[in-house]
Amino acid sequence: MFDYTSQKWKKKREKILRRDGYQCQRCRKFGRSCPAQIVHHIKEADAYPELAWKDDNLESLCMKCHNIMHPEKGRAGILSRPPLLRLQGLSPFGTGGGNFFQL
């Protein structure tokens, strides 16, 4: 498994963000300007370890675009749970207060 906590990765990540002007490259393709927080492996590091450190296999993405590229990551924990519903003025004991209920 690729080590995203290593000093080597942190330096590479900063280099790629700087190269891309700290802008999401996917948003840029659609004429939008959005700050990037993530450096994405175009071909996954675990599947293609020989490409893991290649600059041309890395691109800066915003969180939204990264989640689109990897729906199984990022929000996986949130999406695997049923949504919470906030009901104003209701509580499990009828006392009010607007509690959260799991659907």
Q: What are the pLDDT digits (tens) for 57-97? A: 999 999 999 999 988 875 544 444 444 444 455 445 444 54
| Res. 25: pLDDT tops 70 | yes
Positions of E strands within the chain: 38-41, 58-61, 84-86, 100-102
Average pLDDT over residues 18-45: 97
Neighbours of 10 (CB within 10 A): 11
| Res. 48: pLDDT tops 90 | yes
Query: Residue 28 and residue 23: Cα distance in Å, rounded?
Result: 7
**pLDDT score at 64:** 95
End-to-end C-alpha distance for the chain, whole angstroms: 35
**pLDDT score at 79:** 45
**pLDDT score at 78:** 45
| Res. 6: pLDDT tops 50 | yes
